Chains A and B, each alone.
Chain A
Amino acid sequence: MSIFPFGIRAALPTKPRDFLVLAFLVLCLVFFLMPVYVMVVTGLKEATSVSLSSMWNLPTRLSGGGFMEAFQRLRPNMGNSLLIAVPATVLSACWGSVNGYLFAKWKFRGSNILFALLVFGMFIPYQSILIPLIQFLEMLKLYGTIPGLIVVHVIYGLPIVSLIFRNYFANIPDEMVEAARIDGAGLVRIFTNVMLPLSLPAFVVVAIFQFTNIWNDFLFGVIILPNPQSQPVTVALNNLSGSFSVDWNVVMAGAITAALPTALVYIFLGRFFIRGLLAGSVKG
């Protein structure tokens, strides 16, 4: 994983050209942080001082702004999102690690075709499976329930998770598998005693990647959970922003609240996040 440089020693600008580059990068930085600034500043204002003409101004006095109300409204949905994302992430990571291991180390006739069939599943527009999906979930009495949404996230997460694990295990030399076989270990033992102890980094990458994806999902949440009480936070946030009775400071504070878990994951575990990103791009 040396491909993405971390902890490199940065150079001080020496030539005039370097200063130009830095100036441009700072300009980009301002552009990239602008929406964050707008969200924070608006979220911190009182409802009475949110006006169209003073959007860019800092809040005039310190207070909780819209955060109290936003948090009150979104708290149950934050809980739902957590209740959906954590089990779905754990289940799909465990299951995907097994699939990835088999596709990488125990190929059989036709396994590459099966793998292609599996990976294709991560690219389809989910709109094209929603109607039968709802009917199927209704048949199983899972429609409208949080376990139903968990099942959906686990199944549609399998392709990407298996892919990441397969790429990871493919980089572990075959000699290790051979050595373990000579010692009498079978397929299952090699997985539990040789591969699993080595695969912690892959688990971290997958967990972060899946958690972010599932937390940020909107389409499955809005379709499978019509009941507002059980909806994930992205759906609740969208409803909040669409209702005319809610002030903009509350909506912005709500957007920050909903984004906070994945933002924190990114800030503290960014390097794993980037690895997941690159690992998910179907490369050998």
Chain B
Amino acid sequence: MKSPTARSTNANAPERVVENRLPWTREKLPRQRRFSNRTLSPIILSPAMILIVIFVYVFIAITVWVSLSNWGTLKIDMSIRQPLGATYGQMFMMPRWHANLRNVFIFTALFLTFSLAFGLLLALLLDRKLIGYTIFRNVFLFPYALSFIVTGIAWRWIFNPETGINILIDTFGLNKLIQAFGGPPLHPGWTTDPTVLFSLNSWLGALFPPIKSMSIQLGIPVALIPVVIAAAWQLTGFAMSMYIAGLATVPQELREAARIDGANEFQVYTKVVIPQLHPVTVSTAIILGHVSLKIFDLIFAMTGVGPGFATDVPGIFVFEQTFKATRYNLGAAASVVMLLLVCLIIVPYLWRNLRKR
């Protein structure tokens, strides 16, 4: 893929080479032949690769070992716990872990839907290049530059049930309207609300009886919704940027051709432009999806584990079990499950992207 920039550097190339020629043609020619260039490349790369192998792969292997070990207190004990994988068994019996898995899947699904849909919408609206284009775009992307901790603190204040959004609900007369229709005034507890919406337990329990005895509700925890909004606020701009970059690669001729064939402006987008954006959607979904499976800082700063573990996620579970409760094997087991979840979406993606070259 040759972009216009690549071609222009090419055009300038001969001049630069001539400029820089003298220093290396005069001296030092014989000295360089000690290693051939082919063997030099892996030699120079080796320190970085060795470190990555240690800090990523060996460390993961050690963590897997810890998750299988007896190391459940401050005292290091790397002997293998019998029966093999008992810590995993113990973890998957914990209601808190069930809540964790429910939360992270619900969070990922809602967050991806919101940020991809709004990112695409904003990119398409900005594609009309109306006045204020640059301001809109820069403001929408701005939250991406902030730390999750800052985002969490700001939104915690906004979703505080005593103030923030709830004041706005009163100010705009929404509650008066609801009361006029005989409903109770709206006063959501947001992050303090332990209820779970759309619980599927009884319905799923009919299909799989064990679900009936589960102690957690399978549905959408209310307290998780503000977190989804905060995360979408921060990362919708990223999705928008990816889509803007994607839109620029859809050739104008394609749109013109569709218009000549009688498509109206709406059809040009739905039938021609949006299908072309499919690869962008896949990449963006995978990048945002792996961020949301790993989510930790935002929830840590905004709600913590939440009422009845309504906003607890594996990232926080690992942190608390390992560094607060010093149950190292349990924390390690949870982190291995996190890693597997991330691998599930990242490995096929890397495979596809890197094999093509």
- Contacting B at CB under 8 A, from A9-44, are 9-13, 18, 21-22, 24-25, 28-29, 31-36, 38-39, 42
Interface residues of B in 32-78 (CB under 8 A from A): 32, 37-38, 40-42, 44-45, 48-49, 51-60, 62-63, 66
For residue A62, CB closer than 8 A to chain B, the reply is no
* A115 surroundings in chain B (CB, below 8 A): 354
Count of residues in B whose CB is under 8 Å from the partner chain: 121
Q: Does A274 contact B (CB under 8 A)?
A: yes
Option from B17, B57, B141, B145 in Cβ contact (under 8 Å) with A183: B17
The reply to whether A2 and B149 contact each other, CB–CB distance below 8 Å, is: no
B203 interfacial by beta-carbon distance below 8 Å: no
**Secondary structure of the B side of the interface?**
helix
Decide: A193 and B322 in contact? CB cutoff 8 A.
Answer: no
**CB distance A10 to B129 under 8 Å?**
yes
Is the pair B142, A125 in contact by a Cβ cutoff of 8 Å?
Answer: no
Known: A25-B125, A118-B49, A216-B148. A282 touches B140 (CB 8 A): no
Please classify the interface of chain A as helix (H, G, I), strand (E, B), loop, or mixed, using the class held by over half of its residues: helix
Known contacts A129-B56, A187-B37: A172-B6 contact under CB 8 Å:
yes
- CB <8 Å contact, B154 and A124: no
| B128 A38 Cβ-Cβ under 8 A | no
A238 contacts chain B at the CB level, 8 A cutoff: yes
Within B324-357, which residues are at the interface with A (CB < 8 Å)? 328, 331-332, 334-336, 338-339, 342, 346-347, 349-351, 353-354, 356-357
A4 is an interface residue with CB less than 8 A from chain B: yes
A52 and B54 alpha carbons, distance in the complex (Å): 51
Q: Once bound together, how far apart are the Cα atoms of A198 and B351, in whole Å? A: 30
Query: Which residues from A are CB-within-8-Å of B332?
Result: 128, 131
Contacts A193-B20, A258-B147: A124 and B283 contacting too (C-beta < 8 A)? no
Bound Cα distance from A185 to B28, whole angstroms: 10
Asked if A194 is an interface residue, CB under 8 A from chain B, the answer is: yes
Query: When chains A and B are docked, how far (Å) is the Cα of A129 from the Cα of B335?
Result: 8
A71 contacts the other chain (CB 8 A): no
B293 within 8 Å of A by Cβ? yes
How many of A's residues come within 8 Å of B, CB to CB? 113
Q: Nearest residue in A to B145 (C-beta to C-beta)?
A: A266
A284–B10 CB distance below 8 A: no
CA distance A218 to B44 in the complex (A): 32
Residues A186 and B133 in contact, CB atoms below 8 Å apart: no
Within 8 Å by CB of B315, from A1, A125, A172, A258, lies A125
B252 at the interface (CB under 8 A from A): no
Which stretch, B173-181, B217-225, B236-244, touches the partner chain A?
A: B236-244
Do A53 and B3 touch (CB < 8 A)?
A: no
Contact at B331–A131, with CB atoms within 8 Å? yes
Closest A residue to B23 using CB positions: A193
B63 cross-chain contacts in A, Cβ below 8 A: 128-129, 131-132
Indicate the member of B17, B160, B342, B351 with the most A CB atoms within 10 Å: B17
Report yes or no: A277 in contact with B128, Cβ–Cβ below 8 A.
no
Q: Is the CB of B339 within 8 A of A237?
A: no
Cβ–Cβ contact A125 & B129, under 8 A: no
Most chain A beta-carbon neighbours within 10 Å: one of B136, B148, B153, B157: B153
Q: Is A56 a contact of B17 with CB atoms below 8 Å?
A: no
Given A55-B163, A183-B25, the answer on whether A129 and B350 have CB atoms closer than 8 Å is no
In the bound assembly, the distance between CA atoms of A9 and B293 in angstroms comes to: 40
Asked if A171 meets B6 with Cβ closer than 8 Å, knowing A21-B125, A121-B56, the reply is yes
With A116-B354, A198-B9, A237-B149 known to touch, is A133 a contact of B59 (CB < 8 Å)? Answer: yes
Asked whether, in the complex, the Cβ of B136 is within 8 Å of the Cβ of A29, the reply is yes
The answer to whether B145 touches A129 (Cβ under 8 A) is: no
Let me know if A215 is at the binding interface, CB within 8 A. yes
- Quick one: which of A8, A52, A106, A234 contacts B147, CB cutoff 8 A? A234
Partner of A238, one of B129, B136, B149, B154: B149
A133-147 at interface with B (beta carbon < 8 Å): 133, 136
**A45–B249 CA distance with the chains assembled, in angstroms:** 47
| Nearest CB in chain B: distance from A22 CB, A | 6
Q: Does B290 count as interface, using CB distance less than 8 angstroms?
A: yes
Closest to A182 in B: B17
Chain B residues contacting A86 (CB-CB under 8 Å) are: none
Is B91 on the interface with A (CB-CB < 8 A)? no
Chain A 230-266 per-residue mask, 1 if CB under 8 angstroms from chain B, else 0: 0000100110010000001001100100110011011
Q: Which 7 pairs of residues, A with B, have the shortest CB-CB distance?
A: A216-B147, A106-B41, A266-B145, A129-B59, A128-B335, A52-B163, A132-B62
A-B contact list, 30 entries, CB within 8 Å? A11-B131, A21-B128, A25-B125, A32-B143, A42-B157, A52-B163, A106-B38, A116-B351, A120-B56, A123-B342, A127-B314, A128-B332, A129-B55, A129-B56, A131-B331, A132-B59, A132-B66, A155-B51, A171-B9, A176-B16, A186-B32, A187-B44, A193-B24, A212-B145, A218-B148, A255-B149, A259-B150, A266-B145, A274-B141, A283-B283
Q: Given contacts A127-B314, A281-B283, list 14 more A-B pairs with CB under 8 A.
A: A11-B128, A11-B129, A12-B131, A32-B233, A53-B163, A116-B354, A129-B59, A130-B322, A155-B51, A176-B10, A194-B17, A197-B20, A215-B147, A284-B1
